[in-house]
Amino acid sequence: MMDWTDRHCRFFHRLLTRRTWLYTEMLTTGALLHGDVARHLDFDPAEQPVALQLGGSEPNELAACARLAERWGYAEINVNCGCPSERVQRGAFGACLMAEPDLVADCVKAMQDAVSVPVTVKHRIGIDRGEDYDFVRRFIETVARAGCRTFFVHARNAWLKGLSPKENREVPPLRYDVVHRLKRELPELEIVVNGGISTLDEIDGQLAAVDGVMLGRAVYHNPWLLAEFDARYFGEPGAPRTRRSVVEAIVPYAARHVAAGGSLRQITRHMLGLYHGQPGARAWRRALSDPDWLAANRPGELVELARETDARAVLLAA
């Protein structure tokens, strides 16, 4: 989710659900240790609970970044051992780390020694075309011995050669049975499934076999799905009542961002899917993508745009 789940995206998603845990895009240790820390780590307190996802393979560097994350107020640090991109592989982290479980264990141990917040791991069920269940189980057991208790398992292999990151989310077959077996055989660990899940019914089915579900692109493209989560999974009233109420709630945030020199597009690009599947959705997306409208940088006009979209939906429904 690099370049997707930035702080503006997370603020928008938090308006849709109060309880669902939110995760940052993956940040590399190099970006934090040698870049603009505040630019990478700043977030609005309203986003909590929010976890920082890190990419790296040097225990000392990951520990230093974990300390930074805890100082900034993140509630969890997640180590990415699942990204298959060639750029990430050249950095010797991401999915290729699954072949080095002892190194991952050292990384987790160094981070846990450095911070008091939970350290978790996200990974695949295998690398390349190998389908040996014992491979992923050994990986988890080795990292668990270092103290990790929560594993986010993307139910596909990562093919390290010959596929783009997009193809790696589509071509390797989904094998949820592997993730379910991991939970049955390692019941003391928290196992969260990821990959190819996009509806409430699918989430419900997975929760019968594992401890949690991680969603990425499904809720990015259809964010209103999040509006169901608080009541359905946490037994609390949902945050928003209408899509327009979400738009009204984000206007003050957008106004502060624009006043500080930011652009409205940095926020609205994450809102294109708000009316996904609804009458008027195309017009909403078209308006939010209009370069002239965006260049005006007038957050207050979002509310009028939402009203027009709602009115168009009524007409189309009639």
- For 217-227, write each residue's pLDDT tens digit: 999 999 999 99
Tell me what pLDDT residue 165 has. Answer: 76
Pick the CATH number of 7-234 from 3.20.20.70, 1.10.287.130, 3.30.499.10, 3.30.980.20: 3.20.20.70
Tell me what pLDDT residue 129 has. Answer: 85
Residue 197 near residue 213, CB atoms below 8 Å: yes
Q: Which one of 9, 81, 83, 96 is the catalytic residue? A: 83
Tell me what pLDDT residue 100 has. Answer: 94
**Nearest alpha carbon to residue 269 among 285, 253, 281, 257:** 285
Active site residue 148: no
Tell me what pLDDT residue 84 has. Answer: 67
Tell me what pLDDT residue 119 has. Answer: 98
Which portions of the chain are predicted below pLDDT 50? 89-90, 318
| CATH 3.20.20.70 domain residues, the chain | 7-234
Tell me what pLDDT residue 298 has. Answer: 94
Longest dimension (CA), the chain: 62
Record: fold of 243-317: Four Helix Bundle (Hemerythrin (Met), subunit A) (1.20.120)
| CATH 1.20.120 domain residues, the chain | 243-317
- Computed from CA positions of residues 298, 304, 306, 308, in that sequence, does the dihedral angle turn out positive or negative? negative
> What gap in Å lies between CA 174 and CA 155, rounded to an integer?
5
Q: 93-148 pLDDT, tens per residue?
A: 678 899 999 999 999 999 999 999 999 999 999 998 888 999 999 999 999 999 99
Tell me what pLDDT residue 318 has. Answer: 47
Tell me what pLDDT residue 92 has. Answer: 58
> What gap in Å lies between CA 117 and CA 75, rounded to an integer?
6
> What gap in Å lies between CA 27 and CA 221, rounded to an integer?
22
